[in-house]
Amino acid sequence: MDFPKLFLHSSLLVLHFAFSSSKDTITINQTIHDGDFLISRENNFALGFFSPGSFRFRYLGIWYHKVREQTVVWVANRDDPINGSLGVLSIDQYGNLVLHGYHNQKVPIWSTNVSAEVTDTCVAQLLDTGNLILVHDGSKSTVWESFDHPTDTVLPGMKFWLDRRTGMSRFLISWRSADDPGTGNFSLQMNPKGSPQVFIYWGIKYIWRGVPWPLKSYADTFNFSSVNNQNETYMTYSISDASVIARAMLDYSGLVKNLIWHEKDGKWNEFWSVPKSPCDPYGRCGTYGICDPHFSSRRFECDCLPGYEPKSPREWNILKDASGGCVRKRLESTSLCGHGDGFVKVANVKVPDTSAAVWVSTNMSPGDCEKNCMRNCSCSAYASLDIAGKETGCLTWYGKLMDTLHNGVEEYDIYVRVDAVELAEIAQKWTGFLESKYILAIFVVSVVSAWFVIILLTYLWLKKKKKWVRNKWNKRWLDTIGTVENQVEGSMSHSEIAFFNLSTILAATNSFSPANKLGHGGFGVVYKGEEPMLVYEYMPNKSLDSFLFSETRKSTLDWRKRFDIIVGIARGILYIHQDSRLRIIHRDLKTSNILLDEEMNPKISDFGLARIFKGNQTHEKTNRIVGTFGYMSPEYVAFGKFSTKSDVFSFGIILLEIITGKRNNSFCLEDSCPSMIGKIWHLWREERAWEIVDSSLKHSCSPDEVLRCIQIGFLCVQEDVMERPTMSAIVLMLNSEISLPSPKQPAFTFRKSSIISSSSLEPKEGFCSMDEETITEAVCR
């Protein structure tokens, strides 16, 4: 034997006596001295002596041969270290593995306990799985294996096992501390009662419970599987990637960990561990409690299952101590079993402790499972499990429901038995919830459909009426609709003023697309400082001037039509002056602003210069003279004064233009020649007014009626404001035979080019084509 030499193996001090050829077996008459190893065939594991703390205590153990950090997975003499000596391992004459101290080879420190025939030869072998086995040479049967006596680690391929035939079980006991492999206080054991579950114990107390069997299988790094039959109950795992070094263990602090070796970091990484969440400790919320780590509406993570209430409300609510658990509500009443009781679903929970549960592994339908539980008065809950790719069946609990919680994995719905009262309350709550949802749904649906209907109707109406919208965004406009009452029924209704919101108009005009634009007209001041829009009815017959002053079209307007147009305009002006909600002075009445619909009903348009008069206001003064020459009253032109009477003046001009078919401001282009008014007045005084009447209507009219209208026209264009009749008087005059006052000489009988000049005449395209221009301060056309 060589001199011992010290060899530092990571944190582990190992004495090497000799590097005998690496071997994985020992036979009878052979010994493993402290410092020698058995190394498994693929070099995965090594068996030898180690000292986790001080060199004084020597232990026989198995560790990973390839892992740099010394990781012991099995210890033979965990509670009996070799004290102050070196260890020797051998196989004795009875075929048992025996461990001695170097100085005392008589009293074994540790040994296996197999009763072999003296003649049998035994061989111990360290397998690549980390299992040390003792095999009868003759029969080749394994008489002992280290996997049957695990320490704190379950290696891949090892059964975490309960043999129901022999009653033998494998369980883990933690180390006492990180450097003391002695029996610690924690253990991991299988509890086969009811449906098997794995528990972490602290002493004899459960501190954590695994999910009951049958377990789901996961295609994970750790491929766990479970078996439960009359012979055995076990779980095991494999590692899907053979190159991965992984283990499951119970550490000295009582945590169950799945660990994976990361070679490049040189350390074990934690893959999974329990207990972790505040709900993990066994029975955190007591009997009939339920734990939710993501509690939001509650005071803390604990609540009672449906039909139960805290046993001690004070402890529960004030001290947040749930250990007392919950008790059934209405405990004194005997209403539970067979008196209208039923089940309430508790969704997605780690099912309660199945120690008191029965697992029926037939293909039992959820309905049968419920009946099965309902039949037996001591059945407190059931769960109908359908484990994908595994079993379907029925779990029924008898007695206390313990350790129900939300943990996010392996969750199922359970159905908790409640009495009739609770059932009714829950049904009521549920109905109320549904009703509120229902009402909300109805509300939303009605609002949405109402909008649809409104939009649809608006669209259809606009389409039908062929509304068009004036497209002048960048300017300030007003929002009075240019709808003027027509004369059909006499009385005028206010409801004809309609207001559209912008979206309606946008929809109607295809967002003011140029394709929808028909033409443009004047605009100007805005009243009320708003930025509204002016919407006109589409007038297929364009404006009055396009008939009146066109040699080809004027004949379509016979006297009847012209008279109706005159009366219509008069009524329209009357309406805006007096009958509408607002007193409106148009300020720009002219033939080109009188639009004609299909039936040649006149509509006053272009309220761009209009002013609203408040209350009893009758006139106003402005420094900005805006309007159209030829239609503006003298006091307006000269002094900027305008009132309803200035509109009356414009009406008078229009009336005379309708009758004569001639423009007031283009009658004569020479200086100092009489204006149209002057010329008519001249003829009127000579009682030759008939001569100036438009020849195209002479055949269709009664001269008296025409002359009466001319007289009304003269009254309207009187220089003196007071002598002009009001619009209501004009309407009355037009519609009756009442005698008319004699007109005096009207204003502007003679054209004075120094005062009024005709502006340049540029015929415009489209519907608003006109010969005269509205004079505006802003240059907008």
Ligand X SMILES: *[C@@H]1O[C@H](CO)[C@@H](O)[C@H](O)[C@H]1NC(C)=O
Choices 217-225, 437-445, 610-618, 718-726 (CB under 6 A): range interacting with ligand X? 217-225
Asked whether the beta carbons of 486 and 571 are under 8 A apart, the reply is yes
Largest Cα separation within the chain, whole Å, is 165
Cα(612)–Cα(624) distance, rounded to whole angstroms? Answer: 16
3-state secondary structure (DSSP) of residue 74: strand
Using CB under 6 A as the binding rule, whether residue 25 contacts ligand X is answered as no
Q: Which is nearer to ligand X, 398 or 527 (CB)?
A: 398
Least distance in Å: CB of 114 to ligand X? 8
Q: Which is nearer to ligand X, 112 or 504 (CB)?
A: 112
Least distance in Å: CB of 134 to ligand X? 14
Q: What residues from 71 to 110 belong to the interface with ligand X (CB under 6 A)?
A: 83-84
Per-residue mark of binding to ligand X, 352-381 (x: CB under 6 A): ------x-----------------x-x---
Active site residue: 24, 588, 647, 694, which one?
Answer: 588
Q: Which is nearer to ligand X, 314 or 371 (CB)?
A: 371
Three-state secondary structure of 513-527: CHHHCCCCCCCCCCC
Using CB under 6 A as the binding rule, whether residue 219 contacts ligand X is answered as yes
Using CB under 6 A as the binding rule, whether residue 552 contacts ligand X is answered as no
Count Cβ neighbours within 10 Å for each residue of 389-398 and write b for 16 or more, e otherwise: ebebbbbbbe
Q: What residues from 378 to 417 belong to the interface with ligand X (CB under 6 A)?
A: 378, 398
Q: Tell me which of 25, 225, 333, 510 binds ligand X, using CB under 6 A.
A: 225
Q: Which amino acid type is present at position 385?
A: L
Nearest Cα to 501, choosing from 539, 561, 455? 455
Cα(737)–Cα(267) distance, rounded to whole angstroms? Answer: 117
Least distance in Å: CB of 131 to ligand X? 17
User: Which residue pairs from 687-694 have beta carbons closer than 8 angstroms and sit at least 24 positions apart in sequence?
Assistant: 692/659, 692/660, 692/662, 693/659, 693/660, 694/554, 694/659, 694/660, 694/661, 694/662
Asked whether the beta carbons of 727 and 647 are under 8 A apart, the reply is yes
Dig out the tokens for 651 from the structure: 């009406």
Helix segments in 618-675, DSSP class H: 634-639, 644-660
Using CB under 6 A as the binding rule, whether residue 29 contacts ligand X is answered as yes
Q: Tell me which of 22, 129, 142, 223 binds ligand X, using CB under 6 A.
A: 223
Q: Which is nearer to ligand X, 389 or 615 (CB)?
A: 389
Q: What residues from 161 to 200 belong to the interface with ligand X (CB under 6 A)?
A: 176, 184-185
Using CB under 6 A as the binding rule, whether residue 221 contacts ligand X is answered as no
3-state secondary structure (DSSP) of residue 688: coil
Q: What number of chain residues touch ligand X (CB under 6 A)?
A: 21
Instruction: State yes or no: is 588 an active-site residue.
Output: yes
Nearest Cα to 677, choosing from 774, 747, 756? 747
Least distance in Å: CB of 80 to ligand X? 8
Per-residue mark of binding to ligand X, 136-165 (x: CB under 6 A): ------------------------------
For tokens 């540029």, what's the residue?
A: 762
Cα(188)–Cα(191) distance, rounded to whole angstroms? Answer: 10
Q: Which is nearer to ligand X, 240 or 700 (CB)?
A: 240
Asked whether the beta carbons of 636 and 609 are under 8 A apart, the reply is no
Q: Which is nearer to ligand X, 90 or 776 (CB)?
A: 90
Choices 219-227, 278-286, 656-664, 708-716 (CB under 6 A): range interacting with ligand X? 219-227
Choices 221-229, 261-269, 600-608, 638-646 (CB under 6 A): range interacting with ligand X? 221-229
Choices 222-230, 323-331, 453-461, 677-685 (CB under 6 A): range interacting with ligand X? 222-230
Q: Which is nearer to ligand X, 185 or 392 (CB)?
A: 185
3-state secondary structure (DSSP) of residue 146: helix
Radius of gyration of the chain (CA): 54
Least distance in Å: CB of 237 to ligand X? 8
For residue 35, CA distances in Å to 58, 110, 370 come to 11, 18, 64
Least distance in Å: CB of 319 to ligand X? 25
Cis amide linkage into residue 275, ω under 30° from 0: yes
Using CB under 6 A as the binding rule, whether residue 753 contacts ligand X is answered as no
Least distance in Å: CB of 67 to ligand X? 22
Helix (H), strand (E) at residue 603? strand 602-604
Least distance in Å: CB of 378 to ligand X? 5
Choices 224-232, 265-273, 477-485, 486-494 (CB under 6 A): range interacting with ligand X? 224-232
Using CB under 6 A as the binding rule, whether residue 229 contacts ligand X is answered as yes
Per-residue mark of binding to ligand X, 630-649 (x: CB under 6 A): --------------------
Asked whether the beta carbons of 102 and 84 are under 8 A apart, the reply is no
Cα(458)–Cα(477) distance, rounded to whole angstroms? Answer: 23
Helix axes 703-716, 644-660, angle to 10 degrees: 150
Nearest Cα to 134, choosing from 42, 234, 47? 47
Task: Quote the DSSP letter at residue 337.
Answer: T
Q: What residues from 288 to 327 belong to the interface with ligand X (CB under 6 A)?
A: none
Q: What is the DSSP string of 357-409?
A: EEEE-S---HHHHHHHHHHSTTEEEEEEEE-TTS-EEEEEEES--B-EE--SS
Choices 41-49, 223-231, 616-624, 629-637 (CB under 6 A): range interacting with ligand X? 223-231
3-state secondary structure (DSSP) of residue 359: strand
Q: Which is nearer to ligand X, 28 or 729 (CB)?
A: 28
Choices 218-226, 315-323, 627-635, 739-747 (CB under 6 A): range interacting with ligand X? 218-226
* Residues at the interface with ligand X (CB under 6 A): 28-29, 83-84, 113, 115, 121, 176, 184-185, 219, 223, 225, 229, 231, 238, 240, 358, 376, 378, 398
Active site residues: 588
